[in-house]
Each structure stands twice: as structure tokens, then as C-alpha cells.
Amino acid sequence: MTAPTQNSGPGAGYQPPAAEQVKSSSIGELMREVTSDLSTLMRQEVELAKAEIRQEGKKAGKAAGFFGGAGFGGYMVALFLSLALWAGLSNVMDAGWAGLIVAVLWAAIAALLYTMGRKNAERIRGLKQTNDSVQRIPDALKPHPEGVTR
């Protein structure tokens, strides 16, 4: 039997054995080949998962850096606007009540942002290629009624 080639995607470069090869092989040889093929397949799946994690991790890290900088800038704007609102409301009412109004306004904004963040976190992509590929493995191991053809 021909094993899958290294450094290729799952199933790439694999040539199934001819019927004559299978018929002339012993059960031990066939089991060794199956074990070897499964071992190679699992190694390839692990490598695919690692590559996907690296690729997605780099993108996420870069985005996180930009979001961090934007968040700090937004924080400073919000801080100074809050102080200005507090000072403006203090001209109309007691400073304590003005501060409470600004705090309640920020509590509502924080609750809204938390809800939006939770919804977005539920849509994280994950390891789509690896997951799709691993889900196809059980079908490949099922016996086929037509047997080995070639």
C-alpha cells in the first residue's frame, strides 16, 4: 500500500492499493498498513491544526494591538467628556447628583457593550478546516459493501 505523502493536506497524494495487492497481503500486513496510515493521518491533522492556530493567532494579535490603542484613545475621550458633562450638570444641580447621572449613563453603556461583546464571542470561527477534515475520518474507516476496487 502507498502511504500518504508528507507535508500535504489530508488525503493528498494517496493511492489506494490494487485489489491484487490486498488479496495477496496477510491480515498482519494489512493491519500494519492501516495503523501506519492512521498514524500519518493523525500527524497531518495535528500539523493542520497547528498551522491554522498560528495563522489565526497572528491575525488576532495584530487586531488586538490596534483595538488596544483605539480603546485607550477612546477611554481618554470618554473620561474627559464625562468630566465635562459632570461639570456642565453641576451648574444646573448639585455636583453629587450630576456625578450620579454620569455614572448611571456609563453603567448603561457598559451593559450594552458587554451584551454586544458576548454575542460576538459566540461567533468565533475556531479550527474550521481541521474540524471539517477530522469529521470525515470516520466515514473513511467504514467498510464499503463493494469491497476494494481497482
Burial of 113 (0-12, 13-18, 19+ CB in 10 A): exposed
What pLDDT does residue 76 have? Answer: 96
Helix, coil or strand: residue 52: helix
pLDDT of residue 141: 64
In a domain, 6, yes or no: no
Residue 146 lies in a domain: no
Mind listing the pLDDT tens digit for each residue in 40-67? 888 888 888 888 888 888 888 889 999 9
CB-side neighbour CA atoms (13 Å) of 86: 16
Report the alpha-carbon distance of residue 97 to residue 52 in Å, rounded: 53
In a domain, 51, yes or no: yes
46 within a domain of the structure (yes/no): yes
* pLDDT of the residue at 5: 47
State how far the alpha carbon of 117 is from the alpha carbons of 64, 70, 73, 124, 128, in Å.
14, 16, 19, 11, 21
Domain span including residue 137: 19-141
Reply yes or no on whether the pLDDT at 9 is more than 60. no
What is the per-residue DSSP string for 71-104?
HHHHHHHHHHHHHHHHHHHHTTS-HHHHHHHHHH
Answer yes or no: is 3 within a domain: no
Grid cell locating 35: 495503523
Per the structure, how many domains does the chain have? 1
- Domain-located, residue 125: yes
Residue 136 lies in a domain: yes
| pTM assigned to the model | 0.42
Residue 47 lies in a domain: yes
100-113 tens-digit pLDDT: 999 999 999 999 99
